[in-house]
Amino acid sequence: MKVKYFAWVRERVGKAEETLEPPASVRTVEDLIRWLSGRGEAYAYAFETPRVIRAAIDHAHVRPDATIAGAREIAFFPPMTGG
């Protein structure tokens, strides 16, 4: 799946997007955040406060317990500040 990062999450991870194949045990958005956090210091820093991280699957907002099965694109970002 394609994983995208925006705003300070993107800056902390150090890249805007990447293609990842998490193991089958990673079932939900919060599992994915936990798995990403273990991929190195940059990820651990980006996801150090999981409750402030927002996620979207295939362009729709989702909650941390949403399943990632079948997702083509998952995005992580801070709370939005547009408008």
Partner 1 sequence: MTVPITIRIQEADFDIAREIALLTDGRTDIGAVVSFSGICRGSEDGDPIAALTLEHYPGMAETEIKRHAEVAVSRWALNGLTIIHRFGRIEPGQNIVLVLTASHHRQAAFEAAEFLMDYLKTSAPFWKRTESGKGANWVEARSHDDAAAARWAKT
Nearer to partner 1, 38 or 79 (CB): 79
- At a CB cut-off of 8 Å and minimum separation 6, what does 16 contact? 4, 5, 6, 10
H or E segment to which residue 73 belongs: strand 73-77
What is the DSSP secondary structure assignment for residue 50, as one 8-state letter?
G
- Could you say which of 23, 38, 70, 82 contacts partner 1 (CB under 8 A)? 82
The window from 27-35, 37-45, 64-72, 73-81 that contacts partner 1 (CB under 8 A) reads 73-81
Q: Which of residues 37-66 bind partner 1 (CB under 8 A)?
A: 56, 59-61
